[in-house]
Structure formats: structure tokens, C-alpha cells
A and B are shown apart, each in its own frame.
Chain A
Amino acid sequence: MSDNIRKIDGITKESTEALIAETLSVYPEKARKKRAPHLGANDQASGSACVKSNKKTVPGVMSARGCAYAGAKGVVWGPIRDMVHVSHGPVGCGWYSWGTRRNMMSGITGVTSFPMQFTSDFQEKDIVYGGDKKLKTLLAEAHDLFPLAKGISVLSECPVGLIGDDITQVAKTSSKELDLPIIPCNCEGFRGVSQSLGHHISNDTIRDYIIGTREFAEPESPYDIALIGEYNIGGDAWSTKPLLEECGLNVKAVWTGDGELDKIAATHTVKLNVIHCYRSMNYMCKVMEEKYGIPWIELNFFGPTKIRESLRKLAELFDDNIKAKVEAVIAKYDPIMQGIIEEYKPRLDGKKVMLLVGGLRPRHTIGAYEDLGMDCVGSGYEFAHNDDYDRTSPEMPDATVVYDDPSEYEFEKFADALKPDLIGSGIKEKYVFQKMGIPFRQMHSWDYSGPYHGYKGFEVFARDIDMAINSPTWKLVKAPF
């Protein structure tokens, strides 16, 4: 094991702990005490979390976190392309989350796919008298105007839960009347501590209302799998799904990127669930394992090293036919990937990156950076749980800083001290660091690029990372006068 312990020059447990202490010194005592357990130096050998997580955000610190609604609308339900997703409540939540995640959809907008903003646009009177009647009317209107929609999700915003509306009853009644799956999802933003509970609630609604209600028309095969926790950001699923198919597997459903409701509802008949974003969908994998005996496996599709490892891990679960196909796929792509590495690695070798993202990327992308010769010198999540940090520890170099739900101040301080060559985080962080002259890529949205998943994605990823770090524009930041 000690052979695998990676060290970064100049970074020790002591230096990282001193950095954390110094960063927190400006905080009032109560906030400092609350924040301290969420920041730590990685102990790579332990392979377990060095920070606390999934706790309430400290008020006033400038967190990057979202809410349960964001986790339900933006992450789990929203990407299902053939449903109408109603943001139930005031106009804002649906408007802010309209088209801003980059979960690409195929189909014809307004006919077979619905990347639009549907809302009940609550007014004062709806708060006073309740919105159930309005909801019932709008469900009928949606069905009438979008007859090919396969279902409707009702995603509650804060006021709905606070005024005590009963969306479940409305959904049940309308479901019968319209002969259409209508899924009530009580994902009010005040629930839980982050997006994470919204994922969980949404998984539960899939469990309660959807799974098992459809069957695939074609006969089952031993190679039927589902791809879970793949949201098709920038077209990721259009890279990973064909890759798995090239390996001889039938991807019967994708959850939920470019997803189709009926296929998700029929997933209980697959032979294996392949999960990419563990955080947002492990719940349903566990449900399907318990209820239908479907095993699941967590894979990583970032960068050739991790893809190779993942495909071999996957092949182990299948027969020689698949094993042979997987080896053929690896043999086909390895030289292509080597070509990409040879092109970009000389320009990126030894560069340092810091990450702060969501679900899986703070650990899953590390290998892809390493393929390009880069080191990850700090990583953290907005809304992870302990099991995410356990999985992160072996991926991060030893003694590097790990941060859970960091404030903007903490992130800035860490970057100031560690002087990374690149930061991968979100839109709220992007321009802060670019003003500081630090190259930056949005790692939620792939910065309007992508895909980054799969072999196809690595080429785009490598190009983008090189473009970010080595752009001549950074030389212009300091004026000569």
C-alpha cells in the first residue's frame, strides 16, 4: 500500500493543517468550531474520510450549495426528456433551473421532449388559499397541450410544503383521470441540508411511483444493463452508452440523462446496474438490489486509466464473450488515447489542479488529470456524504486539503496558498478565480463544452484543460505599466 501513497512537494499534513487553522482564524468562534471538522488533510493510507459532511451549512459564510428542489428538478427528474416537469410554486425556482444544467435531450421540443419551464407561478392568493386546485387544472392543461408526454412530475417549491398542500392526493386523482403517470415529489428547498436530500426524495418517488410499472417489449438478455447516474451533461451519455454497447452490453435505460420514463420504469428487469454518480442515485441501486436482486457496480468513465480499469471490472461480471469484447475495445482505444496524452501531457505535466464540485467529480476526475500529468492538490464537494469522502481518500495525494461545503472565503484562501494552475468548480466560483488570473473550468457544466465522459470525452477534456491552462490570454492579465 505504501507504494501507492502519493506525495506532493511542499504539502505535508502539518502544512495543510496550518493552512486550515489560519483560514479559519477570521471566523467567529462558533462558526470556526462548526467549520473545522469539515476541513482536513487527506490520509491516503487510511482510505477513509478525513472530514465531516452532510451537515447544515453555517449561516452567512457564502456556501455554493443548492437545495432539495435543485437536486430533484435539476439533477434527477429534470433530465428525463419525455416528461413535463412542473416547478410547483412561485416562478423563480423553475426559471433559474431552466436550461442551466446542460443535460442534453434528444427529441422534438414541445412534442416528444420538454426542456422547458413549466410552473404554477404561485401568486399571493395561491399561498392564502392553497394551490391544489390550480395544480389539478394545470395537469389537465399540460396533458392537453403535450399529448405525447409520457408523464408529469410535480416538483414542490418551499411554499407548497409550508402551506400544507396535498400534492400527492392531486397527483393520484389526476393520474387516474388522465391515465398518465403523475409523480408528486415533495422536494421543497428547505428540506435537508443541500441538493442531496432532493436526490434521495426523487429516488424514493421513482421507487414508490414508477419502477416496475413498465416492461420492455423485447425479450430479456443476459447482457441487459442500465446506466445509472449519467445525466448526459454536454452529451456525456452519448459517449458512455455507445461505449458500453461496443462492449456487447444492451443499455436498456439511462438514469436520467436523455432519459425516457417508460424505460426507467422497466429497469427492474435488467441484469446489472452500472452507476456513475453514486451520490445522487445509489438509493435506487440499493432498492433494485434488495427488491429485484439486481447487482450494481460503481464505475468511472473519466480518462483512459480509469475507463480501462472500469471496463475490466465490468467484464469480470460477464462471460468470456463480453470479456473479449472489452479487451478489444481497450485495445482499440488505448493507442488513440496515448496519442492524445502525447499531444497534451508535455504542456500539462506537473500542473496543479484544485476541485470543488458536486456528486462524483471531485474524486472521479482526478485520474483524468493524472493521465495528463497533473496533480490534484485540493478537492471537495458541495453536498457529499461520508461514503463519498471515503471513496475520495485513496484518489487524492497524501496530506492534500479536503474541504466539505467550503465557503468562498475558504476556497479563496486555499487557492491563494496552494497556487494551483487550474481550478475546476462552478459558475459562482469561476469569475472570482479568473479575476485572480487563475485558469478555470466549470466542472458542473463542462463550461459549455463536453462530453467529458468516455473515450470520446477524454479528447475534449484534454483539449479544454490545455486551452484553459495554456491560453496566451493569461499572459495579458498583468499590465506592463
Chain B
Amino acid sequence: MSNLLGLEVKKIVETSPEEIEKVQNWINTDEYREKNFARQALVINPAHACQPLGAQLAAHGFEGTLPFVHGSQGCASYYRSTLNRHFREPAPAVSDSMTEDGAVFGGQNNLHEGLENANAIYKPKMIAVFTSCMPEVIGDDLTAFIKNAKQKNCVPKDMPVPYANTPSFNGTHIHGYDSMLVSILQTLTEGKQIEGRCTGKLNLIAGCDFNTGDYREYKRILDAFGIPNTILADLADSFDSPCDGSYHIYAGGTKLEDAADSINGKATIAIGPYATPKTFGWIKDNYSGKHVTLPMPMGIEKTDAFIMKVAELFGKEVPASLKNERGRAVDAITDSHQYIHGKKFAVYGDPDYLTGYVSFLLEMGARPHHIICSRGSKKLEKELQALLDGSMYGKECTIYMNKDLWHLRSLLMTDPVDAVIGDSHGKFAARDAKIPLFRFGFPIFDRVNKHRYPIIGYQGAVNMLTEICNKFIDIKDETCEDQYFELMR
């Protein structure tokens, strides 16, 4: 019955303490690092998730929208709980619970039954369908399935049901975000372009950003300009809703009519060129007005670029309030730069966060010594290298493309730095290296309220700087010898 591997039956032998110590030391060596970097097939502690997670995020950014996973139900539970843990907010989404027979007959019946039930029970204004592995592998035809669903009246004929193919064996969550977002916009704007009409609004696509504070910050900046705007995939209220004794399944999101009318906008800015290439490409070909793509405005220079672009697109002066805000941020920086200057960092994250971190660190006089992207591209590598080349603090910094957090650990142990910037998953490597981890990306499972503090704009730069500098000061206070423990720092 047992032992189908034909294993030799052995007495249990405990590993000796000497052997353990030997390996414990060995995994911190250059020799191990070399072996670790020679890995061809095994991925250990990757810093990215799969496409459907990003698709669900995008779907939550629209009014009355129910994210709908076409695939196994376990997938939906994983995406939901991941978003719950990061935002500490509800993340309502359904799946059509495909099982083994779906592999044989396809998933159309599940999809139709699921749409009918979801519509009756949760009364959405829009259902955003995206796929997990199973239907992608068996080749379900979503276009036909959804057309048939409407014919069968599983959902009202006039209900928007955008859908996206989001295979998990291709790209990461940012690509799923892009595919879902473009599909939602294509669906909502269909037939809505009106010759000669201009809403006078700026459409702002915030990118696959998991920080609700950032969305509020964009709005605040645009309001300061007095520029009417539509944030596309507006997650601010979806994942930062009030606790007032009542639960609203659809807590926020871009109004569907605003999204529909966005095609007649005066201008569109897509933030995050790595998270929105499909969406931006389609918008460029189809939307009225001007179209610009910009990096995440992290740090002063990139925020300046954003502010100037907004001013240019709308022919407006930068308002005094924003000029003052910039001044205050720079004041905060000059006051505190000495606590970050020259410090070496290891940084990792999604491409758009990554260019932001690197840019921010360089302008503070810090060194992004190890730059890791667990799923990146040549284009990203080139852009990061250009950032490094543009600063004397970028010298001797190295970019590691398509490496994971076990590679990061080897780097931290063999070529030490002062701190890490990334998401919660870096805490293990940072602890082994006895250095702090600054959590700015996604996911953040082990600190509270971080998603409420923006990391973009001038305020974002102040937030990041304050957290970093004060931690270094804390470390000094906690570790210095008594005679150097003093009141002022």
C-alpha cells in the first residue's frame, strides 16, 4: 500500500547541530549566491502575483461593479483574501466555480448560471468577467459565451459585461489590471464618442496602484488646479470606505457615465507606463483630446513632471497652493536629507513603483544599490539604467531583472545594504540581514493603514522620507552606546 517511491525504510537520524551550522553559514556565502543565481527552473519567493488579481483590482474601481472570476472558485478566494489583507477592507467578488466537468464540457454553463445568480443576488450595474487558469488552458471562448448569456437573458441585455482574458501563466497582476481596464473602457465607451463634444475633463488612469491615498492625492492636486477630472479605476472609496454601521457592497468607483464620457475628454494621462500599455495604446487610437503617459510621480522631479504636464495640457498656471506644497516638501527634504544621504538600499517591486523608488532615492542622495524586478522587461531595465546613469549616486548600483526574493537574500548577505524598500514579503530577507524593510508597495500585510498614506506627489515624498529617516534615527537610538545616546538627532 505505502512506499510507492520504493524508499529504503530507515531509522530517523536527527541532523547534527554542526551540520546545521555549516549550512546556515553556507547560505550566506558568495559560493551559495553563485549557485542561487544559477537557478534555471526553480523560483523562490517571487515578488509578483498573477494576472486575475490585477483584473479584480481594476474592476473594483468602477461604480456598482461586481468582479466575476470565470474559473475555479479557489482562485476568487485567493484574490479576495489578498485584497482584504492588504487594504483591511471587503473585496466582494464572485466566481462561477468551474470544476472537473468544466474541463470536459467547457465553462459556458457555469458562466451563464453564475451571471444569472450574481445579477439577481448582488444587483450590480456592471459585471467584469476575467479568467483564471482553467478556462485559459481549455480555451473557453468568452466572446461567444457572453454574447449567448445576453441572448439567454442571464443578465439584462443593456448591462455592461466587459471581459478580459487574464491567464496566470503569462505576465503578472499588472498585466491583468491593464487587460481588464481596457476592456471596461472599451465596453463603456462603445458608441459614446460624440463628434465635437469635449467634456473639458482630464482622464487620469492611476495605474495598478494599491495605495488608496494616492488616488485621493491625485484628486486633491487636480482640484487645486481647478481641473475637472475623471479618475479611471478610482479605488479611493472602494478600498477606503467609512465604518458607519452599514455595509455597501459597492463602496466606490468611477461613475459608469463618467467613464463612458471619458472618451470625449480634453486630455488623458495614463500613469504607470508598465501597468497600462494596452489601455494607453487603445486610448491613443480612440479617445478625443491629448494623450500622455507618465511615470508614477514619486519624488520631487517626477511630481514636477506630472504637475507641469497637467498645467501644459490645460493651459493653466501651477496654483500657488501647489507651489507652496512643493516648497514645503523640499523644506522637509533639505531638513532631513542627512539621515538618508549615502545610505544604500535594495529595492524591488512592480515596475512602476520601482522607477519611482529609484528616482526618489537618487534625488535624496541615497543609493539604490540592488534593484530587483521579479518580472521585468528590457525596456524597464533600460529606463532604470538611464536613471542610474543620470546621478552620481547611481554608480555601482546593479539592476537584476527577473530575479526573486531568494536572490535578494543572497545579495543582502554578500553585498550588504542599509535597508530594503518593497512589500511585506521582503521581511524575511531583511530580518536575516538585520536591516529595516520600508513597506511602500503591494502587498502590505503586516502594518496598518499604510495604504492610506500617499506615496505619490509632494506629500508622498514627505511621507516616504519621514518614515525612512525616522527609522534610521530610531535604529541609532536603539543601538548606540550609552555615551552617544543624546537628546538631539
A interface residues (Cβ-Cβ under 8 A, vs B)? 26-28, 30-31, 56-70, 86, 89-93, 95-100, 108-112, 116-124, 126-127, 134-135, 137-138, 141-142, 144-145, 147-148, 157-159, 162-163, 171-172, 175-176, 181-183, 189-193, 195, 207-217, 262-263, 266, 291, 407-409, 412, 426-428, 430-437, 477-479
Question: Contact: A124 with B170, CB < 8 Å?
Answer: yes
Q: Evaluate whether A266 and B12 lie within 8 angstroms (CB atoms) in the complex, with A60-B115, A134-B41, A158-B134 already known.
A: yes
Q: Which residues in A have their C-beta under 8 angstroms from that of B9?
A: 212-215
Q: How far is the CA of A91 from the CA of B1 in the complex (A)?
A: 33
> Quick one: which of B7, B92, B247 contacts A436, CB cutoff 8 A?
B247
Q: Does B78 contact A (CB under 8 A)?
A: yes
Q: Does B192 contact A (CB under 8 A)?
A: no
Q: Which residues in B have their C-beta under 8 angstroms from that of A266?
A: 12
> Quick one: which of A158, A212, A431, A436 contacts B137, CB cutoff 8 A?
A158
Q: Which residues in A have their C-beta under 8 angstroms from that of B75?
A: 67, 92, 189
Question: Contact: B97 with A57, CB < 8 Å?
Answer: yes
Q: Which residues in B have their C-beta under 8 angstroms from that of A171?
A: 5
How far is the CB of A260 from the nearest CB of chain B, in Å? 9
> Quick one: which of A60, A159, A432, A433 contacts B133, CB cutoff 8 A?
A159
Instruction: Name the residue on B nearest A125 (C-beta).
Output: B169
Question: Contact: B169 with A90, CB < 8 Å?
Answer: yes
Question: Contact: A428 with B245, CB < 8 Å?
Answer: no
Q: How far is the CA of A442 from the CA of B173 in the complex (A)?
A: 27
Question: Contact: A207 with B27, CB < 8 Å?
Answer: no
Q: Which residues in B have their C-beta under 8 angstroms from that of A162?
A: 103, 133-134, 137-138
Question: Contact: B5 with A175, CB < 8 Å?
Answer: yes
Q: Evaluate whether A63 and B428 lie within 8 angstroms (CB atoms) in the complex, with A434-B243, A437-B245 already known.
A: no
Q: Evaluate whether A127 and B35 lie within 8 angstroms (CB atoms) in the complex, with A28-B116, A62-B122, A91-B50 already known.
A: no
How far is the CB of B53 from the nearest CB of chain A, in Å? 7
Question: Contact: B42 with A60, CB < 8 Å?
Answer: no
Q: How far is the CA of A428 from the CA of B71 in the complex (A)?
A: 19
18 contacts between A and B (CB under 8 A): A59-B96, A90-B50, A96-B82, A99-B445, A141-B40, A147-B23, A148-B15, A162-B133, A181-B5, A181-B7, A190-B102, A213-B2, A214-B9, A214-B12, A428-B91, A431-B88, A432-B247, A435-B247
Question: Contact: A97 with B117, CB < 8 Å?
Answer: no
Q: How far is the CA of A404 from the CA of B133 in the complex (A)?
A: 27
Q: How far is the CA of A128 from the CA of B447 in the complex (A)?
A: 41
Q: Which residues in B have their C-beta under 8 angstroms from that of A142?
A: 42
Question: Contact: B84 with A428, CB < 8 Å?
Answer: yes
Q: Does B95 contact A (CB under 8 A)?
A: yes
> Quick one: which of B71, B79, B121, B241 contacts A60, CB cutoff 8 A?
B121
Question: Contact: A212 with B11, CB < 8 Å?
Answer: no
Q: Which residues in B have their C-beta under 8 angstroms from that of A93?
A: 74, 78
Question: Contact: B92 with A62, CB < 8 Å?
Answer: yes
How far is the CB of B177 from the nearest CB of chain A, in Å? 14
Question: Contact: B78 with A66, CB < 8 Å?
Answer: yes
How far is the CB of B254 from the nearest CB of chain A, in Å? 21
How far is the CB of B96 from the nearest CB of chain A, in Å? 4
**Contact indicator per residue, chain B 1-44, by CB within 8 Å of chain A (1) or not (0):** 11111111111110100011001100100001001100111111
> Quick one: which of B82, B92, B120 contacts A408, CB cutoff 8 A?
B92
Question: Contact: A64 with B137, CB < 8 Å?
Answer: no
Q: How far is the CA of A122 from the CA of B168 in the complex (A)?
A: 8
Q: Which residues in A have their C-beta under 8 angstroms from that of B120?
A: 26-28, 31
Question: Contact: B2 with A212, CB < 8 Å?
Answer: yes
> Quick one: which of B81, B99, B117, B241 contacts A96, CB cutoff 8 A?
B81
Q: Which residues in A have their C-beta under 8 angstroms from that of B43?
A: 91, 118-121
